[in-house]
Each structure stands twice: as C-alpha cells, then as structure tokens.
Amino acid sequence: MDTSLAAAAPTRDVTTPVPVVSLSELWPWALFAVMLVVLLYFVAAVPDNTIHEFLHDGRHLLGFPCH
C-alpha cells in the first residue's frame, strides 16, 4: 500500500472548536443591514435629483432598481 498520499494530506485538529457567533453578537450587524436597506429605499423615493445621482451607482451595485 502506498502511504505517500496519506502522509501529504492535511490533517485537521479535531480538538479545536469551530467558532460560533452568538445572536447577541450578530443582532447589531443585522440591524445595521436592515437600516441601510431602508435608508436606500427612502433615498430612492426622494424626488430630488441631486441625491438620486449621488447614490445612483451604489444602488445599482447593490441590485436596487431605481428606474
């Protein structure tokens, strides 16, 4: 039996725990993301063309239609 491939394979240390993100650490980022999406929606609804043009390309990059 050829063991050269088995020796070259990377091994994972099973004693190292996988980091877990708790909800108490996640909720501020989720709230920030929701507020950003709501802000982009209201900025798109403003009829002022200056704000629209300033944020136009960023909205398209995020997949938000404005036309």
Q: What is the 3-state secondary structure (H, E, C) of 37-67?
A: HHHHHHHHHCCCHHHHHHHHHHHHHCCCCCC
Q: Name the pTM for this structure.
A: 0.45
Residue ranges per structural domain of the chain: 33-67
What are residue 16's phi and psi, to 5 degrees? -80, 120
Q: Cα separation of 34 and 32, whole Å?
A: 6
pLDDT of residue 1: 53
* Tokens found for residue 32: 């920030």
Quick one: angle between helices 49-61 and 23-45, nearest 10? 130
pLDDT of residue 9: 59
pLDDT of residue 39: 84
pLDDT of residue 62: 75
Model confidence pLDDT, tens digit, residues 13-53: 677 777 888 888 899 999 999 998 888 777 777 777 777 67
